[in-house]
Amino acid sequence: MKLSYLDVLVLYSMKQFQGERSAAAVYHLLKGKRSSQTIQDLQLFKIGALFGLFPNIKKDQIEASKERLSAQGFLTANLHVSDAGLSFLEKEWQEHPLPSQLNGWKYSAHSRQYWMKLSLLVQTISNLIGGSTRFLPLLYNDEELLWVKKFLLKQGSSRQEMAHALYHELSGLLTGQAPLAAAVFTYRLTSKDRIGLTFQQLADHYKQDEWYIRVLFLNVLHAIMERSLGELPFLALLHERKPAAKTLTASTERSFRMMAEGKTIAEIAAARRLKESTIEDHMVEIALNDPDFNFSRFLHREEMDEINAVISQLDTKQLKKVKEKLEHAYSYFQIRLAFAEMRWRKGDDS
């Protein structure tokens, strides 16, 4: 049974989760679900690069991948990666490493819009330079079409100058990419004389897995989005604002504001008509993202140290194990806060 690059990513996610999360967590990760739990997992397990890579992925695709990996003996019944699975993953990483500039957490929410603008701009300028003012945009979206029209109208540069700037910045960045990744990105673009290829067409042409081709493309796109903010002035214009990831969910932001006003968890829950456990989720999400979070509101220093000592001793991120070792002296909420505080003490803000 031949495994796909999606299977490799699922196996890698399971390895990072260390058997402490289900296949549903992998689904939410790759789809880009912005829940408190998923956001916490990104930071606890260091898998932000994979966040939101495949927004259209289906849950049954992840389940099918889990079954394939289990059938190969790469996943155990409790979702730990077996020795055989680790060997397989190491071999795959040597042949098809996870691209280093991939940053789904930072860019997945903005990448589709940026790509639409860029691809439409390339197609439009190419046609204008070639003397064609009437053409069918390959990627049709009213919002991005309107943006490109306004963009071209307000530029003080000529078509030739814009074409030169666009070519210069793109070619300079693509030169620094792996040859296959640069080719994949280039052939996705549509010009006056060539229609951009689909991921399946590229996979067939280069005899590669389609999921791998998608990841190579996203890696280059994320690299462009990152570099354009500081080094590529023309491509930077495609950003309406700096594409920083939205750190907190909207609901958590509301709880954050109320917490800043001095309200307790019970008061916030009552005012918002939510369960206290939901507000606790929000507090943990805030704690993971705010280095100045006041942990002493919920745990004394001695209590925090006691929990952290057990976490270090057990070397686990599984709440139940820590709670049982502490003889249920602390709530799950307090233990989750201890995990967050330990992360800041280690200086891990990734």
Q: pLDDT value at position 130? A: 72
pLDDT tens for the 350 residues of the chain, in order? 789 999 999 999 999 998 889 999 999 999 998 887 888 888 888 899 999 999 999 999 999 999 999 999 999 999 999 999 999 999 999 999 999 999 999 899 889 989 999 999 998 888 888 776 666 666 666 777 888 888 888 777 788 888 899 999 999 999 999 999 999 999 999 888 888 999 999 999 999 999 999 999 999 999 999 998 878 888 988 886 544 445 677 888 899 889 888 899 999 999 999 999 999 999 998 888 887 888 988 999 999 999 999 999 988 888 888 999 999 999 999 999 998 888 777 655 44
Q: pLDDT value at position 242? A: 46
Do 118 and 26 lie in a common domain?
Answer: no
Do 149 and 29 lie in a common domain?
Answer: no
Do 166 and 261 lie in a common domain?
Answer: no
Alpha-carbon gap, residue 23 to 240, rounded angstroms: 35
- Tell me the three-class secondary structure of 235-286, residue by residue: HHCCCCCCCCCCCCCHHHHHHHHHHHCCCCHHHHHHHHCCCHHHHHHHHHHH
Task: Check: CB of residue 10 under 8 Å from CB of residue 65.
Answer: yes
Long-range CB pairs of 65-72 (<8 Å, 24+ gap) are 65/4, 65/6, 65/7, 65/10, 66/10, 66/23, 66/26, 68/1, 68/3, 68/7, 69/3, 69/7, 69/10, 69/11, 69/14, 71/1, 72/1, 72/3
Q: pLDDT value at position 350? A: 43
Do 83 and 10 lie in a common domain?
Answer: yes
Do 118 and 183 lie in a common domain?
Answer: yes
Q: pLDDT value at position 240? A: 63
Q: pLDDT value at position 144? A: 76
Task: Check: CB of residue 210 under 8 Å from CB of residue 200.
Answer: yes
Do 56 and 34 lie in a common domain?
Answer: yes
Do 183 and 258 lie in a common domain?
Answer: no
Q: Is residue 241 part of a domain?
A: no
Alpha-carbon gap, residue 166 to 98, rounded angstroms: 28
- DSSP class of 39: H
Q: Is 58 helix (H, G, I), strand (E, B) or coil?
A: coil
Single-letter code of the amino acid located at 39 = I
Give the domain extent around 325: 293-350
User: For the chain, percent helix, then strand, then coil, each to nearest 5?
Assistant: 65, 0, 35
Do 187 and 220 lie in a common domain?
Answer: yes
Q: What predicted TM-score, i.e. pTM, was given to this entire model?
A: 0.77
Do 136 and 164 lie in a common domain?
Answer: yes
Domain count, the chain: 4
Q: Is 176 helix (H, G, I), strand (E, B) or coil?
A: coil
Q: Is residue 202 part of a domain?
A: yes
Do 84 and 163 lie in a common domain?
Answer: no
Alpha-carbon gap, residue 11 to 79, rounded angstroms: 9
Do 281 and 302 lie in a common domain?
Answer: no
Q: Is residue 242 part of a domain?
A: no
Q: Is residue 172 part of a domain?
A: yes
Give me the half-sphere count of Cα atoms (radius 13 Å) on the Cβ side of residue 33. Answer: 15
Residues 6+ apart with CB under 8 A from 60: none
Do 87 and 151 lie in a common domain?
Answer: no
Task: Examine the fold and report which residue of 95, 124, 148 is the final residue of a domain before the chain moves on.
Answer: 95
Task: Examine the fold and report which residue of 78, 95, 112 is the final residue of a domain before the chain moves on.
Answer: 95
